[in-house]
């Protein structure tokens, strides 16, 4: 029997088209799905989540109550930050922060000349912001501005320019350039380690830049000279941190390459330098630069204390940076070295075009970690009498006009918040760069 009522009724249930996919359950998608998967996926995770939320609630309640609800936001002296209720202690004394904030930024810099510090901040932002945006053009010109031009402008604006460039300093410069040319000749013609033509071109460019630098630093721009002992606050913190970062990275690269060099003298020098600087704490380096170094200098010769601290911080950070970069160099497969050599590339071309771009991409987290550590270690310069942000806070706490039980806690809380904002920003930007370069999890 075919074509009966039963067969026609069965045929009417045949699906003529694929069933449309149905959405996942509400507990597996969206914000509820994320919460279920990450916070309450098991009873143990749920317990940890509840404990964590309770701790966050308790800590946040205390901080908000002290820093906002019971805080004093304005006032001219300590009287404003004292509690009028003996049973209820006062909250944060933000009036103290407002009163001392210009000093935190400029230190003891003359009030009439603070526009120069502001101009330095603006010029730095003008160069830094386009450099941090990947799609912005003229990266090479921007890098030259940030690494070569901006430091000179900063030195002239903050210091006032018209530095004493006498005949002795010109003779010293000529001697150093002559020695550098002699080393190039020995390494190229004698040992055949480097190519003479590119090295000589680099020497000419460096010689021209240094001569121009001497002329610019010796020129009189009509600015009032400001001693570095008057610099302070966030200005000094940024100067020390940025100088250490900019100087330590190329030095670290050279030391890392030197430690892996096949030349025993270069390798031994690199090893001794790295182990010597890594073997002592930074505070010892700063004391050496501040107290011991002047004892070994010729009579009448002196180097600015801040400059000595900058050199010490840069060399100390370079030793750590070298080991970070050496880790990246060791992570490069041997085939990459062999492929570069098969292309006929020399040592420096091989490193510049093949090895270092890969190695530096691998060690971005380590480099950023060193930068963040350096930024926080700048507070140690206050021990040798340089008033960085923490040092200028300590100076402000000695002001009897603001002596209250909450002044110190508020000051440390505010300074910690400033440091956290800078460090967190550096960390987030490094994560963005890692994602863009495909480093990390995408590797």
CB 384 within 8 A of CB 309: yes
CA dihedral 64, 65, 68, 70 (to 10 degrees): -170
- Mean pLDDT per segment of 10 residues, for the chain of length 443 residues? 51 74 78 86 92 96 92 88 81 92 92 93 91 85 87 89 79 85 78 74 86 85 88 91 89 92 89 92 87 73 82 91 93 90 85 90 90 90 88 90 90 94 92 78 51
Q: What angle do CA 413, 422, 358 make, to 5 degrees?
A: 145
Instruction: Give the chain's length.
Output: 443
CB 244 within 8 A of CB 314: yes
Q: What is the pLDDT of residue 2?
A: 46
Collect all residues with Cβ–Cβ distance below 8 Å to 249 and sequence separation of at least 6: 321, 367
CA distance 12 to 402: 89
Give the closest residue to 416 by CA, choosing from 398, 386, 381, 390.
390
CB 154 within 8 A of CB 216: no
Alpha carbon 31 to its chain's center: 35
CB 251 within 8 A of CB 319: no
Give the closest residue to 98 by CA, choosing from 329, 440, 410.
410
Q: What is the pLDDT of residue 117?
A: 93
Q: What is the pLDDT of residue 9?
A: 55
* pTM of the full structure: 0.82
Q: Strand, coil or helix: what is 175? A: helix
Collect all residues with Cβ–Cβ distance below 8 Å to 393 and sequence separation of at least 6: 100, 104, 411, 412, 415
CB 110 within 8 A of CB 230: yes
CA distance 329 to 358: 8
* % helix, strand, coil for the chain, step of 5: 75, 0, 25
Q: List the beta bridge partners of residue 72.
A: 93
CB 392 within 8 A of CB 103: yes
CB 396 within 8 A of CB 82: no
**In the 8-state DSSP scheme, what is residue 223?**
P
Q: Strand, coil or helix: what is 85? A: coil
Collect all residues with Cβ–Cβ distance below 8 Å to 342 and sequence separation of at least 6: none
297, burial (CB in 10 Å: exposed 0-12, middle 13-18, buried 19+): exposed
Alpha carbon 381 to its chain's center: 16
Backbone angles phi, psi at 367, to 5 degrees: -65, -45
CB 266 within 8 A of CB 322: no
**In the 8-state DSSP scheme, what is residue 224?**
P
CB 332 within 8 A of CB 355: yes
CB 439 within 8 A of CB 362: yes
CB 361 within 8 A of CB 379: no
Give the closest residue to 319 by CA, choosing from 379, 368, 273.
273
CA distances from 227 to 138, 157, 361 (A): 36, 12, 40
Q: What is the pLDDT of residue 290?
A: 81
How many other C-beta atoms lie within 10 A of the C-beta of residue 239?
A: 22
């Amino acid at each position: 029997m075919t074509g009966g009522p039963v067969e026609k009724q069965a045929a009417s249930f045949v699906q003529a088209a694929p069933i449309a996919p149905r959405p996942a359950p509400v507990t597996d998608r969206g914000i509820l799905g994320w919460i279920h998967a990450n916070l309450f996926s098991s009873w143990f995770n749920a317990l940890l989540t509840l404990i964590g939320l309770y701790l966050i609630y308790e800590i946040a309640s205390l901080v908000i109550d002290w820093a906002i609800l019971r805080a004093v936001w304005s006032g001219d002296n300590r009287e404003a930050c004292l509690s009028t209720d003996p049973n209820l202690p006062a909250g944060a004394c933000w009036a103290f922060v407002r009163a001392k904030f210009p000093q935190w930024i400029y230190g003891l810099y003359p009030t009439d000349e603070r526009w120069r510090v502001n101009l330095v901040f603006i010029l730095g932002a003008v160069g830094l912001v386009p450099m941090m945006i990947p799609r912005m053009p003229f990266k090479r010109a921007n890098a030259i501005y940030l690494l070569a031009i901006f430091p000179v402008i900063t030195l002239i604006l903050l210091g006032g320019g018209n530095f004493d460039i006498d005949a002795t300093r010109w003779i010293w410069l000529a001697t150093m350039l002559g020695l550098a040319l002699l080393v190039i000749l020995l390494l190229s013609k004698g040992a055949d380690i480097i190519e003479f033509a590119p090295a000589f071109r680099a020497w000419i460019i460096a010689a021209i830049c240094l001569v121009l630098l001497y002329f610019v630093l010796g020129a009189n721009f009509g600015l009032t000279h400001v001693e570095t002992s008057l610099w302070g606050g966030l200005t000094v913190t940024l100067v020390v941190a940025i100088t250490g970062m900019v100087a330590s990275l190329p030095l670290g690269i050279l030391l890392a390459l030197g430690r892996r060099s096949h030349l025993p003298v270069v390798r031994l020098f690199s090893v001794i330098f790295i182990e010597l600087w890594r073997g002592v704490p930074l505070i010892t380096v700063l004391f050496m630069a501040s107290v011991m170094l002047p004892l070994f200098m010729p009579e009448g010769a002196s180097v600015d204390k801040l400059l000595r601290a900058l050199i010490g911080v840069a060399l100390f950070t370079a030793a750590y940076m070298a080991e970070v970069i050496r880790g990246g160099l060791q992570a490069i497969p041997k085939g990459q070295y062999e492929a570069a050599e098969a292309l006929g590339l020399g040592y420096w071309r091989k490193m510049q075009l093949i090895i270092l771009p890969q190695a530096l991409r691998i060690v971005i987290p380590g480099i950023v970690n060193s930068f963040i550590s350096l930024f926080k270690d700048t507070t140690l310069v206050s021990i040798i009498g340089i008033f960085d942000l923490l040092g200028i806070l300590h100076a402000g706490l000695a002001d009897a006009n603001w002596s209250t039980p909450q002044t110190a806690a508020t000051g440390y809380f505010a300074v910690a918040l400033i440091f956290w904002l800078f460090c967190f920003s550096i960390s987030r930007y490094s994560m963005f760069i890692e994602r863009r370069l495909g480093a990390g999890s995408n590797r």
